Structure 1
Amino acid sequence: MMEWQVANAIPHLSNHTCQVWLSKTTDMQPWHVRMLNDEERKRAQSFRKDQDRARFIIGCALSRLVLATQLNMAPHQVPIDRTCPICHKAHGRPRLPHGLLQWSVSHSGDVILVAFTTDAPVGVDVEWMNATWDLDVVKMADGILTEREIVHILQMSSNDRIRGFLIYWTRKEAVLKATGEGLKIPPLNVAVSGPQQAPRLLAFTGRPDDVDNIILHDLNLDLNYVAALSIFSKTQKRIEQYDASVLMQEGFGWKDYYI
């Protein structure tokens, strides 16, 4: 699997690539908040737990830093819109006007992932796995895994079942996030390949044409995390994986502007 390259600059995002950036809650800096718009600051303040607040702020700040470079503008000027199309509150999927660039944010535990493409809908999902968990995987799988997928999980050793479930879950969630609808679509509508198999969308209830238009990738993190990436594209894109630690600490020219 690909390794995460520590980025000392933000590379140009081409039509043939998908950039995935990795950050951690320990990367958070006070100046990050100054890049956010009023709605983002308000939402950040609504989180009761410091970790939840940090993950949200880092997801916003990382998105703005990368998008600012691609759009040649200041991070706080990037016109991100999170208006929910149903309730019109600012908690919907982030997007830019006129379909300029596409990106997806996911966070779990101490990890934040943000994936970017120029034109193809993209979805990323990461899940933290606690090695001490003693969970009923079959109960967890209710409403998420198909009968065939549950059988596959039960054939695994008890030590591998939680990771196996999360591999299924992140692959499904990445696909659903790429649609822009997320869990408004039941996970049971999506059938994916399982653990020890190359990531692949096998079936999509009600959307059979999408099966040949969705590319799935697993993302390599440490043993406590499982992550997947989905791109709506008929042609393969080169996946570029960047460690954002230096970017988030140094800002590549923006830190002094916001301090």
Structure 2
Amino acid sequence: MPTSLLTASVTIWCTPPTPCLPGQAAWLSADEAVKASRFRRPVDHDRFVTGRLLTRAVLGERLHQAPEDVDIRLGAREGAAPGRPYVGPGPSFSIAHAGSWVLVAVVDPAGPPLPGAASAAVPGAAVDVGAGVDVGVDVESTAPARAHLADLLDAVPAGERPADGWDAESFTRSWVRREAVLKAVGTGLLAPRDDLLLSRADRPARVVHSGGLLPAPDRLAVRDLELPAAWPSPSTGKAVTLGGREGHPRRSGTSPSAGGGEGATYLAAVALRSARGPVALGSVRVTDGTALLARHGITARTTLDQP
């Protein structure tokens, strides 16, 4: 008998980084508070904290809990490699941040779309599931690839090279797809480069080959993510810019595309991993995390102008 195809939908909540007020610090676990205190630059601190606050706001509403009661843990979830954050029981989620972006992706329960979310449905499988899959999301600046493209190309397989050759945008596109898949699996960048081959960067995203400890290609799904330009501020009604140009570094780290820079643009991707069988992405909904935080008294205010 053929194996049935699971279709899972994802909601992605977007907001700019914002300073944490004293009362909101209670939302963080002790380990998160320690990690936050170690960031030297305010903007790096605020990206990390905003990601955790937004995650707790989203999961709190989903699980009917106060945000500070959402228990985020690190470890293995349903066969995934250890190290990814999760809540148990609860939906799989993934956090990404770069420049003026903080994204939280959450696997949806079976059911109708959330009201007010921009949805792009894709023909897929027969059954929509909210359990048994993990999600990964990534967003990156094109600036590092623009400045150091030749030094970064070894980070992705040659088989992902577009027909017209690499440039900053195509490399960053390939990279965010890769990191989204590896975050969904739970290995992160510990997986050897050649264990994962994706489609060429100038073609629609898909997994071509996977090996080593990674699931079979049909248990992985990946899609490019279109980012909105801005959301209206709940307090002023004016647009809060999320995308576009970024004049300050993103962060330090091991990602080949870590960093920002003058004139940077941002690309993103979302991926799924299934422990139960073949999987497909159903709808991907991009919605306003700024308004959600505002309902909890957190007003988005970017800190990118801080040194």
Structure 1 segments of 4 or more deviating over 4 A? none
**Which deviations, in whole Å up to 9, do the C-alpha atoms of 1:110-143 show, x marking residues without a partner?**
21111111421111111012399432x232011x
Residue matched to 1:175: 181
| Cα separation, 1, equivalents of 2:144 and 2:44 | 21
| Cα separation, 2, equivalents of 1:191 and 1:60 | 31
| Cα separation, 2, equivalents of 1:184 and 1:145 | 14
1:138 to 138, 142, 150: 150
| Cα separation, 2, equivalents of 1:84 and 1:42 | 22
| Secondary structure of 1:97's aligned partner | coil
Q: Which has the higher strand share?
A: 2
Superposition CA RMSD, Å: 2.6
Residue matched to 1:204: 210
**Which deviations, in whole Å up to 9, do the C-alpha atoms of 1:163-222 show, x marking residues without a partner?**
111111111111111111111112332111123311111111236862112121111134
| Secondary structure of 1:206's aligned partner | coil
Residue matched to 2:123: none
Q: Structure 1: where are the runs of 5+ without partners?
A: 1-14, 86-90
Q: Structure 2 matches for 1:28-107, cutoff 5 A?
A: 28-30=19-21, 31-82=23-74, 92-98=83-89, 100-107=90-97
| Secondary structure of 2:47's aligned partner | helix
1:189 and 2:178 are equivalent in the alignment = no
Question: Which residue identity does 1:95 align to in structure 2?
Answer: Y
Summarize the Cα distance change of 1:17–1:83 in structure 2 as closer, same or farther, 3 Å threshold.
closer
| Secondary structure of 1:194's aligned partner | coil
**Which deviations, in whole Å up to 9, do the C-alpha atoms of 1:44-63 show, x marking residues without a partner?**
11111111100000000000
Question: Which residue identity does 2:147 align to in structure 1?
Answer: D
Summarize the Cα distance change of 1:174–1:131 in structure 2 as closer, same or farther, 3 Å threshold.
closer
**TM-score normalized by the length of structure 2:** 0.66
Summarize the Cα distance change of 1:28–1:246 in structure 2 as closer, same or farther, 3 Å threshold.
farther
2:136–2:271 Cα contact (<8 Å) kept: yes
Q: Structure 2 matches for 1:94-133, cutoff 5 A?
A: 94-98=85-89, 100-117=90-107, 118-119=130-131, 120-130=133-143, 133=146
Q: Structure 2: where are the runs of 5+ without partners?
A: 1-6, 108-129, 228-242, 245-264, 299-307
| Secondary structure of 1:18's aligned partner | strand
| Cα separation, 1, equivalents of 2:282 and 2:225 | 14
1:104–1:122 Cα contact (<8 Å) kept: yes
Summarize the Cα distance change of 1:18–1:53 in structure 2 as closer, same or farther, 3 Å threshold.
same
Residue matched to 1:243: 288
| Cα separation, 2, equivalents of 1:77 and 1:168 | 37
**TM-score normalized by the length of structure 1:** 0.78
| Secondary structure of 1:73's aligned partner | coil
